[in-house]
Amino acid sequence: MRYAFISDVHSNLEAFSAVLKKIDGSAIDEIVCLGDIVGYNANPNECVEIIKTRNIKCIMGNHDSRAAGLKEPDDFNYLARDAILWTRKQLKEEYLTFLKTLPRKLYIENNKIVVVHGSVNSTDDYILSLSDVADNFRMMGEESGVNICFFGHTHVRIGYKEANANIYPFYENKIMIEDSVRYLINPGSVGQPRDGDPGASFLIYDTNVKTMEFYRVEYDREKTCEKIVRAGLHIELAERLTVGW
Query: Alpha-carbon distance 217 to 235, whole Å?
Result: 23
Question: Measured from the CB atom, is 35 or 159 closer to Zn ion?
Answer: 35
Residues of span 14-53 touching Zn ion by CB under 5 A:
36
Task: Compose the 199-218 pattern: x for residues touching Zn ion by CB under 5 A, - for all others.
Answer: --------------------
CB of 179 to Zn ion, least distance (A): 31
Is 8 a binding residue for Zn ion by CB under 5 A? The answer is yes
Sign of the torsion angle spanned by Cα atoms 197, 114, 167, 175: negative
Is 195 a binding residue for Zn ion by CB under 5 A? The answer is no
CB of 9 to Zn ion, least distance (A): 9
Burial 27-52 (b: 16+ CB within 10 A, else e): ebeebbbbbbbbbbbbbbbebbbbbe
* Cβ within 8 Å of residue 133, ≥6 positions away: 127, 160, 167, 169, 184
Q: Contact region for Zn ion (CB under 5 A) — 7-15, 128-136, 169-177, 221-229? A: 7-15
CB of 79 to Zn ion, least distance (A): 12
Question: Measured from the CB atom, is 36 or 195 closer to Zn ion?
Answer: 36
Question: Measured from the CB atom, is 36 or 162 closer to Zn ion?
Answer: 36
CB of 212 to Zn ion, least distance (A): 21
CB of 178 to Zn ion, least distance (A): 30
Is 125 a binding residue for Zn ion by CB under 5 A? The answer is no
139: nearest Cα among 110, 114, 173, 168: 114
CA 227 to chain centre: 22
Question: Measured from the CB atom, is 1 or 70 closer to Zn ion?
Answer: 70
Q: 3-state DSSP call for residue 71?
A: coil
CB of 10 to Zn ion, least distance (A): 6
Q: 3-state DSSP call for residue 141?
A: helix
Question: Measured from the CB atom, is 147 or 244 closer to Zn ion?
Answer: 244
> How many H helices and E strands in the chain?
8, 12
Question: Measured from the CB atom, is 14 or 36 closer to Zn ion?
Answer: 36
Query: Alpha-carbon distance 184 to 160, whole Å?
Result: 5
The contact set with Zn ion (CB under 5 A) reads 8, 36
